[in-house]
Structure 1
Amino acid sequence: MPLTTPNQDLKRDLQGIASDLKWSAVELMRVAERLSLAGNEADAQALLKMCTVFHADEDRLTVYTDEIKAGAIIRTVK
């Protein structure tokens, strides 16, 4: 069954947010590496923990997009 326009929009929005989280995590890992090399290991570790959260959130959003595609999540517009 093809997706309705609201569901296509929702899926596209969630995919975009997941992509933003992935890009942000990659950039934070680069900053963490520079902090570590500069001797600021505590802040580097804090950023790496943030990256872990971002990756988990990205994975959750991917599951949601799969559920939208399967028809388990339906967006209604009033």
Structure 2
Amino acid sequence: MPLTTLNQNLHRDLKEAADLLKWATVDLMQAAVRTSGFGQHTDAKELLKIAANHQLIVDRLVGYADEVNAGRIKREAE
């Protein structure tokens, strides 16, 4: 069954949010590598922890988007 416009928008928004967080995670990991090169290993470890937390949220958002696509999560008009 095709998705309604509301659910298509929800699916798209969840995917976009996941993609944005994914790229932010990549940026954080690159910053951690640069930081560790300057001997600031504590700061680099903290950035890697943040990146790992971002990745968990990315995975969750992608899962929600998949559930919308499968019809298990639905948005309805107010």
TM-score, structure 1 as length reference: 0.97
> For residues 23 and 77 of structure 1, what CA distance do their matches in structure 2 show?
32
Gaps in structure 2 of 5+ consecutive residues: none
Runs of 4+ in 1 over 3 A off after TM superposition: none
User: Which residue is 1:70 aligned to?
Assistant: 70
CA RMSD of aligned residues (A): 0.5
Q: For 1:25 and 1:31, how far apart are their aligned partners in 2?
A: 10
Q: Which residue pairs with 2:28 in the alignment?
A: 28
What's 1:6 paired with?
A: 6
For 2:57, the equivalent position in structure 1 comes to 57
Q: CA deviation at 1:8?
A: 0.3
Identity %: 47
Equivalent position SS for 1:73: coil
TM-score (norm 2): 0.97
